[in-house]
Amino acid sequence: MPFRTSCAGQYVAGTIKGRAVKDYRHEANVARDSTTETYVAMKLMIDNWRWAGVPFYLRTGKAMARRKTEIAIRFKQAPLALFRDTPVDRLTPNWLVMHIQPEEGVSLQFGAKIPGPIVQLGSVKMDFRYADYFAAKPSTGYETLIYDCMTGDATLFQSADNIEIGWRVVQPILDAWRGRRAEEIAFYPAGSAGPMEADVFIERDGRRWRALDGAGDEVP
């Protein structure tokens, strides 16, 4: 892929939960040489003092291994340790994860001292799930938005200025991708976690994507 900090992909035939899925290009009303992306991964930076040096890794796609929406914040490792011989560069990172779908909630992962005379840290996780505390069933989201429209509540709606600013970020990317050749698309099997090319560009930064199934979320 010619885009060093982004990847556009398209799914090919595969299996999702035991169900066979055909190529995107064989879906109804889709051209056989379509270069429309069904997967996008990218690295973005915010050019201000508050977020200087903080990378934002985004990915979204269709026909993935699992439908999952979350915002995961990995805290920086401290450059020093309070305890002697603590391997700062190898400590398990701390995470704050906001689970949007399908299980709404928040989880916090951090290091805690393992009981005993030796200073040894282990990873622990604190979880909050709406379903564990409230009997109300979650809505589809559209129910809430339609109700808000009827009552005139614009709290959950973006302002026109915010939408325009968002397009100022996205449009240059779309312009750069326009006219790309079919061989420049990164293909991935339906039911997978996305194309290999997306793994390559994030691994250049010494990181990896969080697992869609939740396993291995403690890794960087």
User: Structural domains in the chain?
Assistant: 6-203 (3.30.360.10)
Across residues 174-195, what is the average pLDDT?
85
Residue 154 token pair: 């614009």
* Predicted local distance difference test score (pLDDT) of residue 92: 76
% of the chain with per-residue pLDDT over 90: 50
User: Angle 38-44-45 (CA atoms, 0-180°, nearest 5)?
Assistant: 170
pTM, two decimals, is 0.82
Handedness of CA 201, 207, 213, 215 (dihedral sign): positive
pLDDT in tens, 110-148: 888 888 887 777 888 999 998 888 876 666 678 888 999
* Predicted local distance difference test score (pLDDT) of residue 71: 95
Prior bond to 117 cis, omega within 30? no
Measured between alpha carbons, how far is residue 83 from residues 75, 111, 113, 124 in Å? 19, 14, 12, 19
pLDDT in tens, 62-102: 999 999 999 999 998 777 666 666 665 667 788 999 999 88
Question: Which of 23-27, 81-85, 117-121, 176-180 shows the lowest per-residue confidence on average (mean pLDDT)?
Answer: 81-85
Across residues 36-54, what is the average pLDDT?
92
